[in-house]
Amino acid sequence: MWARIWAFLDDWFFGTAAAGGSARGRLIRALSYLYAVLRDLTGGQINLRAMGLVYTTLLTLIPLAAFSFAILKLFGAGGDLQPVVYQFFSALGPADAAKLTSRVVLFANHVSGGVLGSVGFALLAWTLIGTIKKVEDSFNFLWRVQKARSFARRITEYLTLVVGGPVILVMFLGFSHRAVDSAPFRDLRRLPWIDLLTATGVKLAPYVTVIVFFTGLYLMVPNTRVRWRPAMIGALVAGVIWAAVGRVFTDFVVHSTRLAIVYAGFAFIVAGLLWTYLGWLILLAGAQLSFYIQNPMYLRLGLQELKLSGAESEQLALRMMYLVGRAYLTGERRWNLTALALELGLPGIAVAQMVTALEHCGILVVTEQDELLPARDLGRIRVAEILDVARSRRPGDFTPRVVPIPPVDRLLAAIDEARRSRCADLTLRELVQEPPRPALVVASSGSGA
């Protein structure tokens, strides 16, 4: 039954009802993004990664806080991190948030006392790098990135993020305090509407901070180029959901007596785990939405594994090389992976896999600007060679055992021979330069009297 329901929704959101420029079609296309994210959440893979990140959060919370405290103490701002930790647990209610914040700060102070200039610094750094890598793996999974950062880039960028984050926080807090305590601001606060504006700004500041933080994560963590507009839209939606879910969760924790009865003194810890899971789930859902906004051709496919048949792989390889070869020969604008995917109406992962296979066989080359060029002269690339690459691609490393069956073997050999004789020595240059065939005109014979 559920399969039929999902099939019906899939046809409705991505079928003929969503086509056209009518208001109804535009509304359905807009709602298809929400549908795609909810469909992926029910699939379970995002939920599993959110659960795994809860575990890594438990491992890295104290080291991260200790590392940040140590950095902040160098700038004389050791106490500025406590409000940030409290804001993270604020959805648990004032009492539980204060309790968890005090324990985290206490543990972090004990650890950070000898962290700098000792072996503990290396251990904490290694723990943080491993945790951030798990976050990057989750984002790369949502963004369909097959190649993670190199080890050198990982060490450099992660340490820059871990060290630079507290420094930026100190600068932000310092400028904020200086602006609030400045004489012009004190004079402005005497105006009646400034108090209302200030109170509104104080209430909105945590949510704006969350949205800015999410936007930064969506832009920097995936090992691919993320445009600012999709990242900001995903962060805005995730931030609003974060605020709404946090308010509901706070009411649940404060007014729920069963949780305290069942878990007794550990109730606030259980609530903290639940809120951490919900937080990661919202963060990953926002990243998935950002991905769909930047890559709408993935909306229907979702997180399913893309499987092309042998004939579809051959067609894809020939069409790709034809477009790349024609652009190279005529001096047109060079193709990149995203443009090819849009032109061919396929998810980028299909084009990326074929590009990798053709590049590995020396037929295609990817420049530093991610432009696609023929690896050799077009006259030295045979069409049969391109077809062989498409036919030899396998989704896995499993090689089937060849069972000799003479009638079948003779038929397959005849098919291969017919394909080779048809392609013969046809090159990509000849295919690109083939003149268009004249249209077939059927003359209608009129009946003369």
Query: Residue 210 contacts by C-beta under 8 Å, 6 or more apart in sequence?
Result: 239, 242, 243
**What pLDDT is stored for residue 440 in this prediction?**
47
Distance CA 387, CA 359 (A): 14
- Nearest residue to 333 via CA among 323, 322, 320, 319: 323
**What pLDDT is stored for residue 392 in this prediction?**
76
**What pLDDT is stored for residue 233 in this prediction?**
94
Length of the chain: 449
- Residue 375's Cβ-count burial label (10 Å; 0-12, 13-18, 19+) is middle
Give the global pTM: 0.67
Distance CA 298, CA 39 (A): 13
What does each C-alpha distance from 92 to 58, 200, 248, 381 come to in angstroms?
17, 22, 10, 64
What does each C-alpha distance from 353 to 63, 95, 348, 394 come to in angstroms?
39, 52, 9, 11
Question: Please, what are the domains in the chain?
Answer: 2-39 (no CATH), 44-298 (no CATH), 310-395+406-432 (1.10.10.10)
Distance CA 210, CA 233 (A): 13
pLDDT in tens, 28-61: 888 888 988 998 888 888 988 988 888 877 777 6
Q: Which amino acid is at 315?
A: Q
- How many helices and strands in the chain, by DSSP H and E? 18, 2
Distance CA 378, CA 209 (A): 53
DSSP per-residue codes, 341-404: HHHHT--HHHHHHHHHHHHHTTSEEE-TTSBEEESS-GGG-BHHHHHHHHHH--SSS--PPPPP
**What pLDDT is stored for residue 119 in this prediction?**
55
Is 304 in a helix, a strand, or coil? Answer: coil
**What pLDDT is stored for residue 20 in this prediction?**
67
Quote the tokens at residue 410.
């003779």
Cα end-to-end span (Å), the chain: 66
Distance CA 148, CA 142 (A): 13
Divide the 449 residues of the chain into consecutive groups of 10 and give the mean pLDDT of each group. Answer: 73 73 81 89 87 81 67 61 67 70 68 53 68 85 80 72 64 59 60 63 71 87 88 92 81 63 63 83 93 85 74 87 90 84 77 85 85 89 86 58 77 80 81 68 46
